[in-house]
């Protein structure tokens, strides 16, 4: 089996396993629009390859809109980091 077409296979195995999610469920942040709604991270979805190495992850967050809970999947780490609400 030739894995030359897979860009993840060209990385060393240590590079694939070192990166871990930075934010835990329960972390709060603002949305990036002008309304600045408060979102909460509720889950982290991780994708692993057949060798068991972590390839990517994304966050699942919820927010309230018109009295309903809206779930946003595929929230990127940078969006959370830019709008993080610091806990006192």
Question: Can you give the chain as a three-state secondary structure string?
Answer: CCCCCCHHHHCCHHHHHHCCCCCCCCCEEECCCCCCCEEEEEEEEEEECCCCCEEEEEEEEEEEECCEEEEEEEECHHHHHHCECCCC
Tens digit of each residue's pLDDT (9 = 90 or more) over 12-30: 655 544 678 899 999 999 9
Task: For 34-69, write each residue's pLDDT tens digit.
Answer: 888 999 999 999 998 898 888 888 999 999 989 999
**Within a domain: residue 1?**
no
* 72 within domain boundaries: yes
In a domain, 88, yes or no: no
87 falls within a domain:
no
Domain that holds residue 66: 7-82
The count of structural domains within the chain is: 1
pTM: 0.72
């Amino acid at each position: 089996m030739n894995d030359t077409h897979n860009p993840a296979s060209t990385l060393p195995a240590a590079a694939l396993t070192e990166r871990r999610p930075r934010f835990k469920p329960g972390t709060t942040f603002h949305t990036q629009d002008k309304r600045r709604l408060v979102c909460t991270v509720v889950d982290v979805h991780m994708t692993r390859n057949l060798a068991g190495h972590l390839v990517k992850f994304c966050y699942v967050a919820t927010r309230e809109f018109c009295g309903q809970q809206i779930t946003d999947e595929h929230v990127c780490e940078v969006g959370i980091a830019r709008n993080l609400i610091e806990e006192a």
